[in-house]
A and B are shown apart, each in its own frame.
Chain A
């Protein structure tokens, strides 16, 4: 149970298309992250799964049952909202119990004066109290049960919202940016809480976020969306290492992947980038798109820089490889340093002026404005993209300097 299939779902709002024929399957027990910039349709997709919105075209199938037209309450899915959406007039206990109490809703509860009968089971039904207490204990909110949401902090409110989802034991959890209203420290804590919840319940989680760190650390699989279309689906590591196109490469990772126009010479086993030669070989025996213009993608950790001391460098480790650049700024992040450099070889055609290339530097600090040589590390992953379509063409393996030589 807990398998969610999205089949050819399109959602249009007037003239704009929020989702364009999306096909996606969330396997049972999976932590599927929908990732994309704002306006990419990720929240719309989640709302369609939840039943809060209906698709213009296509079907939503949960555990083999077509629920496209079913009401949200009949889908047995729980939603955690970004704004928590707790019932302000109810205590935490009642907030948690509410989904259970609604199972017993009768028409005569509408009659003024008889409405409170709806809440009678909140304390009398052992099953309700048991499940509420269990959920509260799991999220460590037992001592908050008799308080109202307005007296709680943001983190506590979000835990109550998680508890309300948990109490129903749904087939899947749908979460719409549940952490984005929390401060950095709470966000990290709650992130682990959600992961623990996923592991303990074993239920499917569909999680919407625009934060790539959340996507990378939480998802078993990540779906990258852009303008209502799926760009790539896969485990976070794979998407990071082998992005399907330039958009994914730039969206995932901090800093984003460095991408520049270059050529791949298969015979000479070099990639020319920003006027420098980077020694590479085809990965896994794949020929690669030799002898044509490509977009070359390199992660910051796949590059190394050494001071450009003129002929000495030519004779030394680099032996003529790498492109020339100047150091623009330093960014210390604890154990390592991120260096932004500007390539010097201003290709008159593509014009690299203003291009900022991020390199992870582990050696001795260099002064700002220093001339450096940047090359590819040995064993690095070099992605190639088509300059026109920006789609992935293949990958190369760098044969530049080893990390030790870069020091």
Chain B
């Protein structure tokens, strides 16, 4: 390390103050992030009557944890979560598979209109979803894709794919071309170069793109609410809103459902988070 000596001889108390300040700042930020989730947990466990007390309760009611069991047994929550999982997993698989190949082609293959195509992909992100819902409904009705999990996968993938393609293109751009040329000389076919040389190098970006695609599909509401009217096809985002009744809304049930809804997404993120590490690309070529 070649840190200037002046830094190391700074007065100890100022360093302690700085560290304490940093720690406090991080603590406040963490609390601000976690508190809404915690508040959901508290609300989920309280009886409806106590929710509207003048003095809000800050601790969850242990007796109220039964609501999580109830919601799984008495409502179609399980089906909804399964649907959400299928839609999100399908969207992730489709958009990563196509995004990697499209992004690679966009980065590496010179073809007429490459720049225009890249720009067009970008433009798709500027269209509001609500604008497309009516024409898409007509198309999906004609194709028989309404009330179909596959249909929701297609529509979600269509919206996520441009972003994933751009992310992958950016990642492939940073991979030295010489690595691929070395692989070509080593007798590696084109697709195998992508699979065994490029893909492992851009793995962090692929993982990040997968997380993005998964959450986009997992949280999607508008298309699901419009295209999935059948009870057995509803994902959780749509299902939870059906709790909201005309005269009363069981807040604790909605909160419990929301917590259950968040858990698989968090799990998915934590699994992929390990792979979102950079620095793998170092060492390929002279740095």
Contact = CB atoms under 8 A, between A and B. Distances in A.
B188 A83 contact: no
B181 interface: yes
A84 B185 contact: no
B126 interface: no
A77 B184 CA distance: 11
Contacts of A84: 284-286
A99 B186 contact: yes
A118 B196 contact: yes
Contacts of A87: 179, 182-183, 197, 284
B280 interface: yes
A309 to B, nearest CB: 55
A149 B192 contact: no
B33 to A, nearest CB: 34
A88 B284 contact: yes
Given A73-B184, A81-B181, A88-B281, A105 B189 contact: yes
A253 B178 CA distance: 32
A320 interface: no
Given A52-B184, A77-B185, A105-B188, A110 B195 contact: yes
Given A73-B186, A88-B284, A83 B178 contact: yes
Contacts of A88: 179, 201, 280-284
Interface string B157-189: 000000000000000000010110111111111
Nearest to B203: A89
Contacts of B184: 51-52, 71-73
Interface residues of B, number: 28
A288 to B, nearest CB: 49
A130 B192 CA distance: 25
Interface in A69-99: 71-74, 77-79, 81-89, 98-99
A79 B179 CA distance: 11
B176 A83 contact: yes
B16 interface: no
Which 5 pairs, one residue from A and one from B, show the smallest C-beta to C-beta distance? A150-B283, A73-B187, A83-B285, A85-B178, A88-B284
6 contacts: A52-B184, A85-B182, A85-B284, A88-B282, A99-B187, A154-B286
